[in-house]
Chains A and B, each alone.
Chain A
Amino acid sequence: MYNGHLSIEQIESLSQQESQSSRQQNTDDWSHVESCDHCRSLVEKCRIVDARLGQLASAQLRQESNMNCPDQKTWFEVAAGALPDEKSLQYLEHAATCDSCGAKLKTAVRTIDAALTSDDELLLDKLSNKIEPTQVPLKERKLPPDDKKPLLFFQFWKPIAYAVTALSVFGIIGWGSLSVYQAHESRVAKELLAAEYSKWRPTEYRLADLPYGPPRSQLGAAQKRYIHISGHDPSYRAAAALLKLDSFSAIAILENARNSGDTSKSVLEDLVVAYAVEYGKTGSDQYLRSALQLANEIIEKYPNDSVGYFNRALIYTNRNCPDCAQKARADFEQVVRLEHDSNWVREVQNRLH
């Protein structure tokens, strides 16, 4: 006590005590407050200040104009720590007294700091193991149409019309020469791949439209071969990727082609090989399942295709199911029946024995 009155700390402490039980702990102080107008007044004033501070969050205060307030993206950057601290503190200073930005920042903090529930963890575990970034972007598939687009078109219709006309003229002229060039390019690519492939093939599986090549393990040669394919044919580009044992890129190239509508036999057959090789590299069963599913589709669509049976037989050989050995044997026997190239027939007969 100072000069017969309670100290600041004592008054502050009493101002925060409400319940009867807490009052019983400081009976001397409370009896003083009840008899001293000065101290009682201070306790009351402290309570008023605390109450007002507590009401500020829901109070109706004047608001400054929020025309220059940062957008939600900025608040995500602040909440995630993507900005330098000095810059973030400038934004935070604004958010502390701007209701609109304070709410946006709170949303951002709760979003970034969200703790994952057990359901969320289950969902994350279910996600596919690998994201394929080469698929068609979501924007092109799902987002709603932008209302402003027609307006923009009408605003710039003249330059667009000129550009379309010019492009059409150049397109007609260029198309003929491009077709000739592409045919040449494609022939060169095929010859190059066939030459490499016939030395030895990079994997036990069989790629589409290429001649026989003995499997790599038979020769013990260096693992990777790098050849440059300048054409646009996805099968050739994927075959080049597989020659350097890059099954990940091969999958990306072929899935891209498939998503763009190219479901030709060569694309599907090479995709079976790419998935099977990726299984060999990662050990992830989902790749082997994808390969098997595709091989089934190919055989259903092309029942006389020996490449499909050959690859499916090898997939069955790698799977540990009870009747897999039997299924593999049946497929190899189909290859012997359908295949015209004696090299492939000989290799399959060796496998059967």
Chain B
Amino acid sequence: MDYKSLSVEELVKKCAKNSDPIAWDEFDRRFKRLIAGAIIGVCRQCSVRPSDVIEDLLQEIYVKLFADNCSLLIRFAPRHENAFIGYLRSTAASVAWDYVRALHAVKRDVANTVGLSEAVHQVRSGYGDPDAVEMTLFFDEVDRLLRQRNGAAKEKERTIFWLHYRQGYTAKEIAAIPAFTLEIKGVESVIHRLTCFVRRSLVFEPHIRAATGK
């Protein structure tokens, strides 16, 4: 059988149903670099040298896929196009993440540390600081304006706006998130349009209302 001509979903089904090594060879050929890419990404985020762990992690991910007669593959039900690619990448990243975190935890006695989010939360709580109060009021005001907008994609656009301005994401990073289905230009356009909307709502509309007496 020519496995090279199969679609991703068909190949996954073949691999899940039988242990034909040629099917797995094809699986390996198509997806090894993708899995390795996710592992390298995690290593880079955690300052670990990929060469130290990549072979072990690749092995670990394949073992997971093979476990319980390929139950992970058998149970996988594609809900949208490219679902399996996403599934494989996220699984690879999760396995690598858990592994690297476990390594770090052993090195630095995790019992004596405070979670980063908790520490940041303590430092950034901002209660009582006049600047923080002012910024919070500004944030609430802008968020209220964005929620009042009309349009089919207003929630999606509000999310993009806050990912950019509140969380500091670049347009490239936002465009990389598949659920938005936007190119970088598309993201930049959304941010520009909403920035103009906020500016006009906060600066020009009060003037217009004052001038017209409404």
- Complex Cα distance A108/B44, Å? 12
Q: Which of A93-101, A166-174, A180-188, A333-341 binds B?
A: A93-101
Nearest CB of A to B105, in Å? 7
**CB-contact partner of B44 in A76, A114, A128, A144, under 8 A:** A114
**CB contact between A138 and one of B45, B87, B99, B165 (< 8 Å): that residue:** B99
**B132-A59 in contact (CB<8A):** yes
- Interface positions, chain A 39-88, Cβ under 8 Å from B, are 42, 45-46, 49-50, 52-63, 66, 72-73, 76-85, 88
A105 to B60, CA, bound (A): 24
Interface residues of A in 1-47 (CB under 8 A from B): 8, 12, 42, 45-46
B166 touching A96 by the CB < 8 A rule?
A: yes
Q: Which of A81, A93, A106 contacts B169 (CB 8 A)?
A: A106
User: How many Å from the CB of A146 to the closest CB on chain B?
Assistant: 9
Contact of B167 among A62, A99, A120, A127 (CB under 8 A): A99
> CA–CA, A122 to B131, complex, Å?
50
Cross-chain contact of B135 among A61, A66, A127, A133 (Cβ < 8 A): A61
Q: Do A138 and B56 have beta carbons less than 8 Å apart?
A: yes
A178 at interface by CB-CB < 8 Å: no
Decide: A79 and B176 in contact? CB cutoff 8 A: yes
CB-CB nearest in chain B for A8: B204
> Which of B158-175 touch A at CB < 8 Å?
158-163, 165-169, 173
A82 → B minimal CB distance (Å):
4
B21 & A249 in contact (Cβ 8 Å cutoff): yes
Are B120's CB and A82's CB within 8 A? no
Set of chain B residues within 8 Å of A50, measured between Cβ atoms:
195, 199
Of residues A55, A58, A81, A137, which shows the largest number of chain B Cβ atoms within 10 Å of its Cβ?
A81
Are B181 and A102 neighbours in the complex by a CB distance under 8 Å? no
**Chain A nearest Cβ from B120, distance in angstroms:** 7
Tally of B interface residues using CB under 8 Å? 90
| CB contact list, B33-68 vs A, under 8 A | 33, 36-38, 40-42, 44-45, 50-51, 54-60, 62-63, 65-66
Indicate if the CB atoms of A82 and B167 lie closer than 8 Å.
no
A49 touches B127 (CB 8 A): no
Asked if B14 CB lies within 8 Å of chain A CBs, one says no
Residue of A nearest to B27 (CB): A131
Which single member of B36, B93, B136 contacts A124 (CB below 8 Å)? B36
Give A59 Cβ to nearest chain B Cβ, in Å: 4
B129 CB contacts on chain A under 8 angstroms? 60
Measured CA separation A73–B90 after assembly (Å): 7
Contact-size category for A = 35 or more
Chain A residues touching B, majority SS = helix
Taking CB as reference atom, which chain A residue is nearest B204?
Answer: A8
Question: Across the two chains, which residue of chain B brings its CB closest to A86?
Answer: B179
* A326 neighbours in B (Cβ, 8 Å): none
- Does A192 sit within 8 A of B, measured CB to CB? no
Is there contact, CB below 8 Å, between A123 and B57?
no
A57's partner among B42, B86, B131, B167 (CB-CB below 8 A) is B167
Is A116 interfacial (CB-CB < 8 Å)? yes
From A45, A62, A95, A111, B41 is in contact (CB under 8 Å) with A111
Enumerate chain A residues within 8 angstroms of B138, measured Cβ to Cβ.
52, 56
With A85-B181, A112-B41: A73-B94 Cβ-Cβ less than 8 Å? yes
**Nearest-CB distance from A248 to chain B (Å)?**
3
Say whether A76 contacts B97, CB under 8 Å. Answer: yes
Distance to closest chain A CB from B188 (angstroms) = 15
B1 proximity list for chain A (CB < 8 A): none
Judging by beta carbons under 8 Å apart, are A112 and B93 in contact?
yes
Among A46, A112, A131, A143, point to the contact of B28 (Cβ < 8 A): A131
6 A-B pairs besides A80-B86, A130-B28 with CB distance below 8 A are A52-B138, A55-B135, A81-B85, A99-B117, A111-B41, A111-B45
User: 7 A-B Cβ contacts within 8 A?
Assistant: A49-B203, A55-B135, A79-B176, A83-B179, A88-B177, A133-B63, A248-B25
CB-CB nearest 10 A-B residue pairs: A81-B178, A60-B126, A248-B21, A114-B41, A88-B179, A102-B167, A111-B41, A96-B162, A81-B86, A82-B86
